Structure 1
């Protein structure tokens, strides 16, 4: 069934009202990756002449060049060219969860208008690379996927405004704060846990790692700039707990108060050169060509009321995530594993002994 997507686009206007179509972004990204205009235009799917005209048109629009072309040295982005592509990457990374949630709302309205619609399944979960695959494997169900923090998702489950909530737990670093937070919403006699995926969390750094960062202790080095996640995120809670266990004072970490709201946004921030390190999943680091220093593995889990396991929509979801096709897609994500995906687990002892599930 047709599924719409919502994507951000750029609109540039000067003081005279002149406007340009931002087709240039794909060309700039290709130049950044290839280092030659001939290869970049081919990768962007445009002719060399059109690429050359684009560069000249946009240089005239901004009043400064976006690319430097030097004989024998290929093409290199200017400071403004670099700023444009990283600004776009950061904006997309920041807005993606909200836009995907909006698209889910719109798709639900479309599906409701059709005859013979499939059972409805409402999932609230924090944004992640594996969760984002679910709409592509929603065979037999109407999937209403809304991105929220883990605590907000669990609260929604308690209120009955969603059928399944997503949350995550470290495999070895036990955070009393996280356990206390989740325990307010999860009841062993009421809820059942569905194992989903395991993912690696760690530090994202520039590919050449110029500061020689090997662990959290190196974040306190002079000149190392850090980009953090927001306080309500599971990644932030995990980081805070690891710093506490290692007796590292966060006040000694430059940029610790600066926050982004997704793994991809943190990766884009580091890739743009605005920070030297950030905390996130390996898949985000690889997406932006960054180095990755693994620190901890996390279980990403789904939870529902035990009676929901008998509902047709939940049964279909389990069938979908247990399928070889879905698990193969998860395995394509760096640092992700679908081991035991779809297994039903009792909630007893889960929050006190996360390494037993």
Structure 2
């Protein structure tokens, strides 16, 4: 079925003045983002659908309220944001990046509740996964087509796999780094993966690495440089696979996490990490290359990660799963993921057994320990 309603939730800044008057920043921030993108006010007005006079009125009023200039206009060089304007814009981007997974998940829950009100409601697929650009695109494409909706809950990999084991979801997203760190991370997941009950759908391979400022003023080259007391690090949330991967990398170098400034900080998405750094609040963080590129940051590759959906074998023949696999193998979604910076969609949509997908790592994991006697 197609829902009669599409649920969407969004965030907006509201500032309360000492008088109790409310200052809404929605139009101001949209204008600043457009000016930052096109480099002049006329183009920003067109992008925002505002008259030149009205746009200037919004900006001047905001400058008066903040007591700070938002724009710098130079002859023959267009218009750019002041440092204050840049910080304001990046603060908003951080808020959006941090809240987006929660709002999308809540919207999906609300849409599910609305769907249950209709007698013709049909079964739909439940996806639990950590936030990622390929997952985000799949959600938007699937729910924009005439197919059963894809209900999304953003979860860590372990939470998602545990939900799949309890049959609380139909697809559980998780990522594995290629190389030395694959086996220890697979060990974390193994208790919820059963080759007799589960198989894997290959989503994509993505580049994961360090985000740093474009000119890399702290001269960061790798994880060891996080020891520099002048380097401020921003981490992913407790329980996330990325945070666990960082811990493994530090342990291999003999570095205690307590030695890293900002290790106990946390953000919930790759974009939130990137926005945190781009706004000047940190010097380095770890995430996928797409987020670094979108925020204009430099990227230092560390590992490649394979992203899978774990599914129950008996769900593969269902109409809803077949429609999803058809969508994943379709040209529209394949092109979308192929255009994500740092993503490889070569194997997308392939269904594999655990043994086929995980190969030697799975065999090593299941191999009985030999006695030293």
Moved more, 116-125 or 331-340: 116-125
C-alpha distance in structure 2 between counterparts of 1:345 and 1:3, whole Å: 34
Aligned-pair distance for 1:187? 1.0
- Pick from 63, 68, 85 the counterpart of residue 67 of structure 2: 63
Matches of 2:138 and 2:76, distance apart in 1: 47
CA contact (8 A) 2:232 2:283 kept: yes
Residue in 2 that maps onto 1:252:
259
TM normalised by structure 2 equals 0.87
Deviates more, 1:71-80 or 1:246-255: 71-80
Give matches, 1:77-96, under 5 Å: 77-96=81-100
Structure 1 residue 340 corresponds to structure 2 residue 347:
yes
> Secondary structure of 1:145's match?
strand
Alpha-carbon RMSD across the aligned residues, in angstroms, is 2.4
Q: What is the rounded CA distance, in whole Å, between the counterparts of 1:18 and 1:209 in structure 2? A: 42
Mapped to 1, the partners of 2:352 and 2:69 lie a distance apart of: 58
Checking the alignment, whether the CA contact within 8 Å between 1:67 and 1:75 is kept in structure 2 is: yes
| Comparing 179-188 and 291-300, the one that deviates more | 179-188
TM-score, normalised via structure 1 length: 0.91
Compute the displacement of 1:64 (Å). 3.4
Matched residues, number: 356
Distance in 2, Cα, partners of 1:34 & 1:347? 48
1:135 to 133, 136, 139: 139
Give the unaligned 5+ runs of structure 2.
364-373
Match of residue 236 from structure 1: 243
State the shift of 1:239 in Å. Answer: 1.7
Q: 2:319 aligns with which of 312, 318, 336?
A: 312
Return 113-122 or 80-89, whichever deviates more.
113-122
Give me the whole-angstrom Cα distance separating, in 2, the residues matched to 1:39 and 1:316: 41
Between stretches 72-81 and 59-68, larger displacement belongs to 72-81
CA change 1:71–1:322 in 2 (3 A) is closer
Q: Is the 8 A contact 1:196 1:302 kept in 2?
A: yes
**1:266–1:279 Cα contact (<8 Å) kept:** yes
* Pair 310,39 (structure 1): closer, same or farther in 2 beyond 3 Å: closer
Q: Alignment partner of 1:110: what SS?
A: helix
Gaps of 5+ in 1: none
Q: Distance in 2 between matches of 1:96 and 1:279?
A: 19
